[in-house]
Structure 1
Amino acid sequence: MQTVESESSSLISQHPDYAAWVAGQRLYRRRMAAVLGGSYAVFLLSVVFLPCILLTPVSVSNPTPWLVPFAAFFILLQFLLTGIYVKHANTVGDEEHERMRSECLRLNNASKSAAVKS
């Protein structure tokens, strides 16, 4: 006998909107991975090809090089992008998945009760 969780998983995978939802989630993950990877590449290439600019002091009285705020910006950007990804996954993705799950369970329960009545 199947557990409720595995039964609900097999029902959801047959939902008409499921394939589109999975494709949308996959596309979103790929885009976020491209943005994150691109920002890492920009940072690394900047450090490799622009060291004379990044190692220049911010001002004459401040010996801190431009690399420090530049790196801080990229660290904050990574946190922001991760937060956006998690928020999207926990709101849009979960809400849509829960809607499909409840529809499938409702239809499954209705078909079981109809089978019992006949």
Structure 2
Amino acid sequence: MNKEIIQKIKNDPNYQELISKRNGFAIKLTILMLSVYFAFILTIAFDPSVLGTPISEGSVTTIGIPIGMAVIIFAFVLTGIYTKRANSEFDDLNNKIKDSVKES
């Protein structure tokens, strides 16, 4: 890529907005996922009896199994949320940047 084009893209206000919004959103989702994951792991480490409690009397399955599955499903949901926003808002900004570079 030509250095002039790279500089033009970096100076584009739409590019600055894209980077700012995308990074901010990704950091928020990352913190959210890490909080849920570490809460689960720390519960296992410091109070395993909470997650080791059977779901019902005489059951082999503990409450930790559905909670662990919920952590995994939560990761998929966050991925879907990011993808939805990336396919709408972030792609729109990306297309604006491409159009401004083509015009010049």
TM superposition score normalised by structure 2: 0.83
Counterpart secondary structure, 1:65:
coil
1:9 is displaced (CA, Å) by 4.1
Q: Which residue of 2 aligns with 1:56?
A: 53
Cα separation, 1, equivalents of 2:94 and 2:7: 13
CA RMSD of aligned residues (A): 2.0
Contact 1:12 1:18 in 2 (8 A): yes
Which structure 2 residues correspond to residues 1-118 of structure 1 after superposition, within 5 A? 8-106=5-103, 108=104
Aligned residues: 104
Counting aligned pairs with the same residue, the percent is 25
Structure 2: runs of 5+ lacking an equivalent:
none
Q: Amino acid of the residue matched to residue 91 of structure 1? A: S
Given that residues 15 and 104 in structure 1 are in contact (C-alpha distance below 8 angstroms), is that contact kept between their aligned partners in structure 2?
Answer: no
Alpha-carbon offset, residue 8 of structure 1: 4.8
TM-score normalised by structure 1 residue count: 0.75
Q: Is the CA contact (8 Å cut-off) linking 1:8 and 1:101 kept in structure 2?
A: no
Larger radius of gyration: 1
Letter in structure 2 aligned against 1:25:
R
8 Å Cα contact 1:8-1:105 kept in structure 2: no
| Aligned partners of 2:15 and 2:93 also within 8 Å | no
Structure 1 residues without counterparts, runs of 5 or longer: 109-118
Amino acid at match of 1:55: G
